């Protein structure tokens, strides 16, 4: 009598156990097979993720450029720091549309194109070569250092999205952000999204936020009621005034003692209790043989002031303001 017969006789045999006892033992699966499958699945997920990311040969960076007046009077572009945005923004309002120079461009490797998109407003373009060679084209300056921010008032509106590529992003192109406005009122920030498409099909996205409220804010030029000839005369007088104060001997002016302070990065130009402008030290500043850099003249209560940055022998900088005597003021 075998074990099965004995259990049956005793009435203790469960049919399930009996059936199980008749089957050959199952082979144990090794744990590494299960984890290997899981790892393979994870690898597929990572591979899928990597396919949507820029490859090692793909690079992309957003750049900003501003207008620059060349020695021969023509207009060019110079790179500016997108992170440290300008102390004074320049814009133009024609009574219907507001235009603000943002000068966005890009650089990188293996880029097919870059698309800039704004949810509010639109983009507009200017041709630098046309501005340089055009007749009776006005030039507008802002800030104590007389920064050129606008040349001419002709813009081509291209819409809420603009795509640049190697063919369209020429040295001739200057990009503006704009919006329709009844009064020239503008938002404090401009939000722009940039998406680069690489030649291998991958993409990279970069959000851009431009703070128009930083520093002295937006210096807005409005469409002048003056004729073209009158505008040219006013601009010529402005250039002559600027040149006069740049050459006026500082020893003939009065130094405002309370304005003298060490400058490490930024100098806030004080006129009494009011800060009229902000000067940021930068490598483009041109100091004369005495280590003096002058900003454009500032006017307050019929007084004319000249902001100055002095480069000291030890490499440090000092900011100060001179008041121009009434008898030496440029005749208006």
CA–CA separation, 120 vs 108, rounded Å? 27
Q: Which domain holds residue 108?
A: 59-222
The answer to whether position 13 is within a domain reads: yes
The answer to whether position 110 is within a domain reads: yes
**What would the pLDDT profile of 104-116 be if each residue is shown by its tens digit?**
889 899 999 999 9
Output the pLDDT for position 295: 86
Do 31 and 131 belong together in one domain? Answer: no
CA–CA separation, 206 vs 275, rounded Å? 35
The answer to whether position 93 is within a domain reads: yes
Do 81 and 210 belong together in one domain? Answer: yes
**What would the pLDDT profile of 131-180 be if each residue is shown by its tens digit?**
665 555 667 776 656 667 777 788 899 999 999 998 888 777 888 999 99
The last residue of one of the domains, among 204, 222, 240, is: 222
Q: Which of the given ranges, 34-43, 121-130, 263-272, has the highest pLDDT on average?
A: 121-130
CA–CA separation, 75 vs 69, rounded Å? 5
CA distances from 317 to 255, 270, 293 (A): 16, 17, 10
Q: State the pLDDT confidence band at 2, using cuts at 50, 70 and 90.
A: very low
Do 188 and 70 belong together in one domain? Answer: yes
The last residue of one of the domains, among 51, 71, 90, is: 51
Do 198 and 123 belong together in one domain? Answer: yes
Do 112 and 186 belong together in one domain? Answer: yes
Mean pLDDT value across residues 66-90:
69
The answer to whether position 169 is within a domain reads: yes
The last residue of one of the domains, among 222, 240, 267, is: 222
CA–CA separation, 78 vs 67, rounded Å? 6
Q: Is pLDDT larger for residue 85 or for residue 125? A: 125
236 φ/ψ angles, rounded to the nearest 5 degrees: -65, -40
CA–CA separation, 44 vs 50, rounded Å? 10
Do 160 and 69 belong together in one domain? Answer: yes
Output the pLDDT for position 39: 34
The answer to whether position 101 is within a domain reads: yes
User: How many domains does the chain fold into?
Assistant: 3
Output the pLDDT for position 83: 56
Neighbours of 125 (CB within 10 A): 15
> Which pTM value belongs to this model?
0.50
What HEC string does the chain produce?
Answer: CCHHHHHHHHCCCCHHHHHHHHCCCCCCCCHHHHHHHHHHHHHHHHHHHHHCCCCCCCEEEEEEEEEEECCCCCEEEEEECCCCCCCEEEEEECCCEEEEECCEEEEEECEEEEEEEECCCEEEEEEHHHHHHCCCCCEEEECCCCEEEEECCCCEEEECEEEECCCCCCCCEEEEEEEECCCCCCCCEEEEEEEEEECCCCEEEEEEEEECCCCCEEEEEECCCCCHHHHHHHHHHHHHHHHHHHHCCHHHCEECHHHCEEECCEEEEEECCEEEEEEECCCCCCCCCCCEEECCCEEECCEEEEEEEEECCCCCEEEEEEEECHHHCCCC
**What would the pLDDT profile of 311-325 be if each residue is shown by its tens digit?**
999 999 999 999 999
Q: What is the CA radius of gyration of the chain?
A: 34
Do 186 and 63 belong together in one domain? Answer: yes
Do 173 and 115 belong together in one domain? Answer: yes
The answer to whether position 280 is within a domain reads: yes
Do 74 and 187 belong together in one domain? Answer: yes
The answer to whether position 242 is within a domain reads: no
144 CB burial (10 A radius; 0-12, 13-18, 19+): buried
Residue 254: pLDDT over 90: yes
The answer to whether position 228 is within a domain reads: no
Do 162 and 298 belong together in one domain? Answer: no
Do 184 and 146 belong together in one domain? Answer: yes
Do 216 and 75 belong together in one domain? Answer: yes
């Amino acid at each position: 009598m075998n074990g099965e017969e004995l259990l049956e006789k005793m009435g203790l045999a469960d049919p399930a156990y009996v059936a199980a006892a008749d089957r050959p033992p199952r082979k144990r699966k090794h744990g590494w097979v299960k984890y290997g499958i899981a790892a393979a699945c994870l690898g597929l997920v990572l591979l899928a993720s990597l396919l949507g990311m820029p490859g090692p040969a793909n690079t992309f960076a957003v750049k900003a450029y501003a207008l620059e007046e060349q020695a021969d009077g023509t207009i060019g572009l110079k790179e500016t720091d997108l992170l440290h945005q300008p102390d004074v923004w320049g814009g133009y309002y024609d009574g219907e549309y507001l235009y603000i120079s943002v000068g966005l461009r890009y650089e990188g490797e293996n880029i097919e194109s870059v698309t800039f998109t704004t949810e509010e407003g639109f983009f507009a373009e200017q041709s630098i070569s046309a501005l340089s060679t055009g007749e009776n084209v006005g030039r507008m300056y802002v800030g104590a250092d007389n920064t050129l921010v606008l040349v001419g008032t002709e813009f081509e509106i291209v819409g809420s999205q603009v795509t640049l590529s190697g063919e369209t992003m020429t040295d001739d192109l200057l990009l503006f952000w704009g919006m329709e406005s009844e009064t020239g009122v503008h938002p404090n920030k401009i939000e722009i999204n940039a998406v680069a498409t690489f030649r291998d099909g991958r993409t990279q996205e970069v959000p851009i936020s431009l703070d128009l409220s930083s520093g002295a804010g937006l210096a807005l030029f409005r469409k002048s009621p003056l004729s073209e000839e009158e505008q040219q005369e006013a601009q010529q007088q402005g250039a002559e005034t600027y040149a006069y104060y740049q050459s006026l001997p500082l020893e003939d002016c009065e130094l405002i003692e309370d304005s003298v302070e060490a400058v490490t990065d930024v100098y806030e130009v004080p006129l009494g209790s009011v800060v009229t402008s902000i000067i940021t030290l930068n490598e483009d500043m041109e100091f004369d043989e005495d280590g003096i850099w002058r900003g454009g003249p500032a006017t307050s209560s019929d007084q004319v002031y000249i902001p100055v940055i002095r480069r000291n022998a030890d490499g440090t900088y000092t900011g100060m303001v001179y008041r121009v005597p009434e008898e030496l003021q440029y005749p208006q």
